[in-house]
Amino acid sequence: MKRVFLFLLTNLAILLVLGIAMNIIFSYFGISKSGIGGLLVIAAVFGMGGSFISLAMSKTMVKWSTGAQVIKQPRNSTETWLIRTVHSQAERVGIGMPEIAVYDSPDMNAFATGMNRNNALVAVSTGLMDQMDKNEVEAVLAHEVSHVANGDMVTLSLIQGVVNTFVIVLARVIGGVVDSMLSSRRDSDEGSSGGGGFYYYVIVFILEMVFGVLASIIVMWFSRHREFHADRGGAKLAGRRKMIAALERLRSDRFDVQLPQEVATFGVSGRKSWSNIFMTHPPIEERIAVLRSKK
């Protein structure tokens, strides 16, 4: 609840500051203010509401998209061990017992998601269970439990909502200013018919693309930052050697990450990208080096 309250407070503060700035800018350039209130509502709905809806539906969506099967009654010793291990780790970090699921995928991976610390889901791939020993799997589970304990899924969604709000509002504010300036020039020319609506939408579209890319860089940076914290949490719960061994095993995985895009951020192993700034996870070599440097 504290994170949700801070999220609402942050977004309301952003909207208030942007609203004041918009009034000043619009007044300076002589732009009509009649649409400011509506713009703020749109920013709140799409920036904040969309983030909340995505977060609330995260468990259902990842179960559907990955085919993850929740373990309700253990069918074998491996599933019994999974439940006992996660239960022990959850107790140690003071969170509610997450749902445990297994999904069919050849790559070694696992992910955590959920709307709050006491109602989360931790899922592991069949590839991870087949190719890792129990010590390594224990470390991966500890990594994901640390994500839950740190509230990383919630925080990442909150940051996404904040940057979405900026993208929506700033694109339209700057678009309105630029379109007003272009319209004034057109109107000053003889024979000009005015009508800058088309140009406004083109400008907003371009700005949303540009700001969207910049926003994704911010979100990806935060995601990489939280991976280091989850690795440290995993090392604390399972042991540093086990966490390093698990990462070294992940480095040898010959399969590409199979997780859908919407949950790839939450996997213990992330997709590769042409540039590090667009990666959800730091390079595994860097993660291992950081753990080894800790005394």
Hey, what are 212's tokens? 């969207």
d(CA 275, CA 290): 20
3-state SS class at 200: helix
Residue with tokens 């002589």: 30
Sheet of 69-70, strand order: 69-70, 99-103, 120-125, 110-114
Hey, what are 284's tokens? 């595994």
DSSP one-letter code for 267: B
Is 99 catalytic? The answer is no
d(CA 139, CA 123): 14
Backbone angles phi, psi at 71, to 5 degrees: -80, 105
| Residue of 144, 190, 227, 248 marked active site | 144
> Nearest Cα to 122, choosing from 158, 151, 148?
148
d(CA 68, CA 203): 42
Contact 121, 96 (CB under 8 A): no
Active-site amino acid positions: 144
